[in-house]
Amino acid sequence: MRLAGKKIILGVCGSIAAYKAALIVRGLIKAGAEVRVLMTPSATNFIAPLTLATLSRADVVTSVHSGESWNNHVELGLWADAYLIAPATATTLAKLAHGICDSALVAVYLSARCPVFFAPAMDLDMWQHPTTVENVRRLQSFGNRLIDVGEGELASGLVGAGRLAEPEQILDTLAAFFAQAHDLKDRRILLTAGPTLEDLDPVRFLGNRSTGRMGIALAEAAAARGAKVTLLLGPTHLSTQAAGIETIAVRSALDMYHAAVERWPDCTDGILCAAVADYRPERVAEEKIKKQAGPMRIDLVRNPDIAEELGRTKTAGQYLIGFALETENGLENARDKLLRKQLDLIVLNSPRTAGAAFGHATNQIQLIDRNKVTSFELKPKLAVAHDILDRLVADKPTL
């Protein structure tokens, strides 16, 4: 199992499913992991801290302040390779989603730099309530990973969704994550993200609504999986400090084109996520353009096509992914772009889909190659990024 030697924090909340925490701890220890357990005060009503301390072979933390000692939540958050919260109650989900720091469990969450997994457990109506749905979405938008609830008979006697995932499934999810963590090792990925701005004069420009969020999510996901990433990032308020990412700021489509062409020969893979302007003003005025009577005319010239150039020059060992944002005839236009620009895969999305594309923390995509179309539901952009990278690994498992 891929958990040997891993440092895992287990956060336990006040749910009837808390008894399964003993099985989770035992499974982690058996797999060779080192475990520290945090409990909310209400969790101690369902399972004794002594039980989990005995199984984990370490003291259980139930408070930031215990007697005359202080449990260093920052130090613990830095110690772990992963933080698992199971079971996660509706109350704790709300606190995590909004930073309400009233327990050691939440304090460590806010300090943790490791991946965070949460496995909810609650009654059917609580799980389906819009408040819970929004809190789960919000947590996922922060990059936290949901281990989805199971279905069956619940403590209330109702039958439906809300059961804590089985301990074996939870352990398998963690093991799969650590197995995935190095599947892009030795890859050098060129990634474009964000908008480009095409200057009209010293104060005005032509642009688009891209924030770069999808591309940054891809860069961070790829780096987390072991890749060295060169991120060509257009003007945006977003940024990333993740290790393994070299960020190169660009402004215009020409800037991005030249940077991409220069770096492409040294890369194994390319993911072209940026919303690059197709046209730029033929002439950039040296002074601010003054308002005049009547209509204004701006002559535009076509920008060079980054995807087309990289597709034309890619070698047999390189894999190239493009994006297609379409408002109509999406599949037809995406397939045409895939073939015309010699891409290996294209990601189709639409601004007409609620919660997708520009300005959202979520996206809904289809992956299209020469043989098939794979569709996905609406997901947080980090989860979408991993879906795309999973396909890259499946199509090109080794260099």
Sequence ranges of the binding site for CTP: 278, 288, 323, 337, 341
Active site residue 144: no
CA–CA distance, 217 with 219 (Å, rounded to integer):
5
Of the candidates 208, 333, 349, 371, the residue annotated as catalytic is 208
Helix (H) or strand (E) holding 272: strand 269-272
CA–CA distance, 199 with 393 (Å, rounded to integer):
39
Residue 174 · residue 216 · CB < 8 Å: no
CA–CA distance, 219 with 338 (Å, rounded to integer):
22
Residue 274 · residue 247 · CB < 8 Å: no
Query: How is residue 13 written in tokens?
Result: 């909340």
Half-sphere exposure of 64 (CA within 13 A, CB side): 16
Dump the DSSP string for 127-141.
Answer: HHSHHHHHHHHHHHH
- Annotated binding-site positions: 278, 288, 323, 337, 341
Helix (H) or strand (E) holding 105: helix 104-111
CA–CA distance, 30 with 22 (Å, rounded to integer):
12
* Residue 103 identity (one-letter amino acid): S
Residue 173 · residue 252 · CB < 8 Å: no
Catalytic residues: 208
